[in-house]
Every structure is written in structure tokens, then in C-alpha cells.
Amino acid sequence: MRRPTRSRAYAPDPGAPPGRGCEHPGCEAAGEYRAPRSRLSLNEYYWFCLEHVRAYNASWDFYKGMSAVQIEAALRADTSWQRPSWPLGRVGALADKVEAAVLRDPLGMLAGERTRQRPRPEVPAELREPLAVLGLSWPISMDELKTRYKLLAKRHHPDANNGDRGEEDKLKDINLAYATLRKRVATEPTLAQAV
């Protein structure tokens, strides 16, 4: 249920109980203004007259009786609206209690740091040198191989380097490495493309 709004900031509270007196000792005025009893019970109120509610509010300290450490903890909790929080990249406080089988996360996206990547296939010994010549890493696809070969062939072609013999020898090595890798990738495409 929504409370009616006040017409002015110092107008009496519309939810004030009728005929209730000011709770300040010795005051006979009507208690038309509410003030919280304590920080632990903010929904329980004292009812005061305007003069005494102003005095109460002026002297009221939300953090009264708290140590500096407790005040700091309360301020930090207020930045997240008193809700639990955790560092980015972690699933949360319940992450350690949830079993991986319950999550049904076949790609390992939710497990965070606990996910171990599958080991990359070991590079076959006869392909280490050709891969180094082309500057590639295993596994590779046929598209990657062709793209890299075209780039290096253009760069080291003798016509692009004024007939430099060193570049010509480099191009021969590139051609040999390409032929070796192309043959292997063509015969075993599933092995080469496995991650």
C-alpha cells in the first residue's frame, strides 16, 4: 500500500495515528511526526511533535555505537545495496558447492578458473620444421595454410626483390614446407583441425 505524499516537507505525516501525543517526556503536543527508533529497527517509530522531531533528527547518528571497522563494512555493503558480491570472473559464492554435472556446461563457460583446457595435439616431429618456416602453429586448417603460403610467396618472390638470390632460396624453402604441410593436412583433415 502506498502512503500518501506530504504537501510540504514539514507537514505532519499523513500516516500518524490520530490523537497520539508526542513521546518526548513532558510534552503535551500532538505526535504527528515519526522518527526511527534505532538503526536496527528502522520500521519502528517514535512519534514526536515538530519541535522534538527536529531535535531528535539533529542528534540522531545512524552509526552511533559502531567501531570504525564496522562503519567501513557498513559503507562497503551499502555500495551494493546490502547484497552479496564477488570479484568479476567468478560465478559466485555458491560456485564451490555446485557440482559440474548439475550445470550441464559442455563448453566449460561457467566453470571459470577451474576449467582446464584440453591439451593441444602434439606437433608431429616431421612437421615441426615446415611449421617453423611458415610461422604457423599446429593444428592448422587448409585455409590457414593457403593464406600464409600466399602471403610469404608474394613477400619472398625474386621478382618482388630485384632477383635477390637469398630471397629465392627462402622461397624454395617456403614451397617445400607448403607442399609437406598440404599433403599432411589433405590426408588427415580431422587431426589437423582438432582443437
Q: The C-alpha cell of 35 is what? A: 522518527
pLDDT per position as a tens digit, 143-172: 888 888 888 888 888 777 777 777 788 888
Output phi, psi for 192, to 5 deg.
-70, -35
Q: Where do the domains of the chain lie?
A: 11-83, 86-113, 125-193
Query: Is the separation of the CB atoms in 48 and 60 below 8 Å?
Result: no
Quote the CA–CA distance of 37 and 43 in Å, as a whole number.
Answer: 8
Angle in degrees, CA 145, 151, 153, rounded to 5: 95
CATH topology of domain 125-193: Helix Hairpins (1.10.287)
Strands (E), the chain: 33-38, 41-48
End-to-end Cα, the chain, rounded Å: 59
- pTM beyond 0.75: no
pLDDT per position as a tens digit, 81-118: 888 776 666 655 555 555 555 556 666 666 555 545 55
